[in-house]
């Protein structure tokens, strides 16, 4: 069993900031990467930011560059998303994603959190 616990969502005015946190626990042998996705009303889920624990620079979607930053700690199994200068179009449900290997297996799988609501008012 793997659990992802997300926190930090809420309601904020445009221009404000929020910090989302994701903690992974359970039968995880290895984590390859952690990411944040979001799904706005009536739209498909999209990747917001991703951090790999195998090297390389963190990825942030183009429309969020300069405003969002992802921090990850493989040892703590956490990924935090700092969101600044929020806009109404950033409103949506934000989901934590972990790509990794379960204990006793050798293949990579994706785990998802239940999502946390972010609402940015104009």
Q: What is the mean pLDDT of the chain?
A: 96
**In the structure, what pLDDT confidence band is assigned to residue 56 with cuts at 50, 70 and 90?**
confident
Distances in Å between the alpha carbon of 65 and those of 25, 30, 31, 96, 103? 29, 28, 24, 18, 35
* 90 phi, psi to nearest 5 deg: -85, -5
Percent of the chain, pLDDT > 90?
Answer: 95
Percent of the chain, pLDDT > 70?
Answer: 100
pLDDT of residue 55: 84
Identify the residue whose tokens are 């293949």.
107
Mean local confidence (pLDDT), 102-120: 95
pLDDT of residue 32: 96
Three-state DSSP at 90 gives: helix
Query: Of 117, 33, 43, 16, which Cα lies nearest the Cα of 77?
Result: 33
Neighbours of 72 (CB within 10 A): 21
pLDDT of residue 108: 95
pLDDT of residue 39: 98
pLDDT of residue 10: 97
pLDDT single digits (tens) 22-44: 999 999 999 999 999 999 999 99
pLDDT of residue 38: 98
């Amino acid at each position: 069993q793997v659990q992802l616990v997300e926190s930090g969502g809420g309601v904020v005015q445009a221009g404000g900031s929020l910090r989302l946190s994701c903690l992974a626990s359970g039968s995880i042998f290895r984590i390859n990467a952690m990411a944040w996705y979001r799904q706005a009303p009536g739209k498909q889920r999209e990747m917001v930011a991703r951090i790999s624990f195998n090297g390389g620079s963190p990825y942030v979607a183009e429309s969020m560059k300069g405003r969002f930053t992802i921090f990850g700690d493989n040892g703590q199994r956490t990924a935090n998303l700092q969101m600044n200068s929020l806009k109404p179009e950033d409103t949506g449900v934000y989901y934590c994603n972990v790509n990794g290997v379960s204990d006793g297996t050798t293949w990579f799988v994706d785990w998802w959190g239940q999502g946390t609501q972010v609402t940015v008012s104009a």
